[in-house]
Amino acid sequence: MDNLKSFIAANKDRFLNELITLLKIPSISADPAYSKDVLKTAELVEKSLQDAGCDVTEICETKGYPVVYGEKMIDPKLPTILVYGHYDVQPPDPMDLWTSPPFEPVIKKTELHPEGAIFARGACDDKGQMYMHVKAAEFMIKNNELPCNIKFMIEGEEEVGSDSLADFLEDHKEKLSNDIILISDTGMIANDVPSITTGLRGLSYVEVEVTGPNRDLHSGIYGGAVPNPINVLNKMIASLHDENNHITIPGFYDKVEVVSDAERAEMAKAPFNLEDYKKALDIDDVYGEKGYTTSERYSIRPTLDVNGIWGGYTGEGAKTVIASKAYAKISMRLVPHQDPDEITELFTKHFESIAPKGVQVKVNPHHGGLPYVTNMDSIGYQAAAKAYEKTFGKTPIPERTGGSIPIVALFEQVLHSKTILMGFGLDSDAIHSPNEHFGVWNYLKGIETIPYFYKYFTELSS
Ligand code: BES
Ligand code: MN
Ligand code: MN
């Protein structure tokens, strides 16, 4: 790996330009208007795998957007690392809050990224982080330093729940067989505090609809005498948390893993500055479940959040109206050993039971996913830790994150594979928000660190 650093330095501009080309295509999986762009992105990803030196590449059809597959097999007796990533992105809205257009990438300096960061939707989640793996593979293949076999599986529906992937895994078990799965689709604590993600939360996502009168009504003629679905929905939602911010759905906490005081004390050693946290978000206080610290609230505890709520008149000026219907989208983040289907059922039963007379309630489940926790004693974790030690000069801190990558639990169920999560983004990189960005330093550091994971994983496996 002697020439890894010089290879990256010599190719830095090309690596950035290639990523910029990828970021220019609006591969928004949630919006069918962009389906051509999503497919175009899959083709570009396939080409990048060919250019990196993969022997086999394929655009694999699924019932939704395709999975891009690639492989470079050295020797079947050597370990095989499967890289997973996603080429789809979140919708960019609200557009007016972007300081530069989401699909016209530009490099700008920020306080945390003095060397510049690429601003574009998908820069960090996940095109930038996925592409680090393609460039790391290019280095290892072109320099004859690939110590083991490599497979890529880059999907196009992660941001909409990876609906086609369960079938895809079942149908391609052989093709996807591996010794470890490697993913960069999470974050790290800070550029000088490397960390390895050891846990992801699960997810249950529902949409609720409350119907009152059969049509929109004049809020003067009828107001006060009929159920107003928006008022009712808000009251129902408010009742889902008690005064300690515990979730009130009966049975919701029954299966929640109790983290021991010793483990909590261990987790509390990870650096976290509450004042900086509040300052970065312009809030004068945090808010959450009584009895838990902020970092516990977003990692080891389950949550319920309204993600969107609508109904009635929201246009210019005022319209006096009682809407016939009100809606909300609600996510519940889950922790071991909660089951998304069970939680969705508990939610549905409870939500229907608290509806007052006079309205009708419908609960439509969306995608879900199981939580995941990794074992720090594994060869995979050790190899990742050594890789960070090599390139950051520091031992990474294990950290459970609040986000979800539902495919990780599926990998374990269907392929019986463990996953290592090596994220290089920062929480402040604004993923899913306006002005998403990814540090140039982080991008290049990822490309530098990944080959060492291959080296140490192969060494530790033998
Ligand atoms: N890359 C994120 C998940 C993530 C980000 C985990 C940062 C940890 C830290 C992924 O693309 C994502 O957004 N997942 C969704 C779930 C999915 C089912 C839509 C999420 O967590 O909301
Ligand atoms: Mn992602
Ligand atoms: Mn995402």
pLDDT in tens, 84-95: 999 999 999 999
Give the tokens for residue 292.
């838990």
- 196, pLDDT greater than 90: yes
pTM over 0.85: yes
Cα distances (angstroms) measured from residue 311 to each of 23, 240, 373:
34, 20, 39
3-state SS track over 55-109: CEEEEECCCCCCEEEEEECCCCCCCEEEEEEECCECCCCCHHHCCCCCCCCEEEC
- pLDDT reported for residue 442: 98
State how far the Cα of 402 lies from the Cα of 186, in Å rounded to an integer: 10
The answer, yes or no, to whether any atom of ligand 1 lies below 6 A from the CB of 128, is no
Q: What angle do CA 128, 134, 135 make, to 5 degrees?
A: 85
Indicate the SS3 state at residue 221: coil
pLDDT digits (tens, 9 = 90+) for 342-384: 999 999 999 999 999 999 999 999 989 999 999 899 999 999 9
The answer, yes or no, to whether any atom of ligand 1 lies below 6 A from the CB of 371, is no
pLDDT digits (tens, 9 = 90+) for 404-424: 999 999 999 999 999 999 999
- pLDDT reported for residue 375: 87
The answer, yes or no, to whether any atom of ligand 1 lies below 6 A from the CB of 195, is no
Quote the ligand 3 centre to 256 CA distance (angstroms). Answer: 25
Least distant ligand from the CA of 368:
1
State how far the Cα of 461 lies from the Cα of 180, in Å rounded to an integer: 11
The answer, yes or no, to whether any atom of ligand 1 lies below 6 A from the CB of 406, is yes
pLDDT digits (tens, 9 = 90+) for 131-190: 999 999 999 999 999 999 999 999 999 999 998 999 999 999 999 999 999 999 999 999
- pLDDT reported for residue 367: 84
Quote the ligand 3 centre to 352 CA distance (angstroms). Answer: 30
- pLDDT reported for residue 299: 96
How confident is the model over 9-25, as a mean pLDDT?
98
Given the CA of residue 432, which atom of ligand 1 is nearest to it? Answer: 13
For the chain, what is the mean pLDDT?
A: 97
Given the CA of residue 162, which atom of ligand 1 is nearest to it? Answer: 18
- 258, pLDDT greater than 90: yes
Nearest of 426, 406, 409, 427 to residue 417 by alpha carbon: 409
Q: Is residue 188 left, alpha or beta, with left meaning phi > 0 and alpha meaning psi from -120 to 50?
A: beta
The answer, yes or no, to whether any atom of ligand 1 lies below 6 A from the CB of 85, is no
Quote the ligand 2 centre to 267 CA distance (angstroms). Answer: 24
The share of the chain scoring above pLDDT 90, in percent, equals: 98
State how far the Cα of 350 lies from the Cα of 346, in Å rounded to an integer: 6
Quote the ligand 2 centre to 126 CA distance (angstroms). Answer: 5
The residue length of the chain stands at 462
Given the CA of residue 401, which atom of ligand 1 is nearest to it? Answer: 8
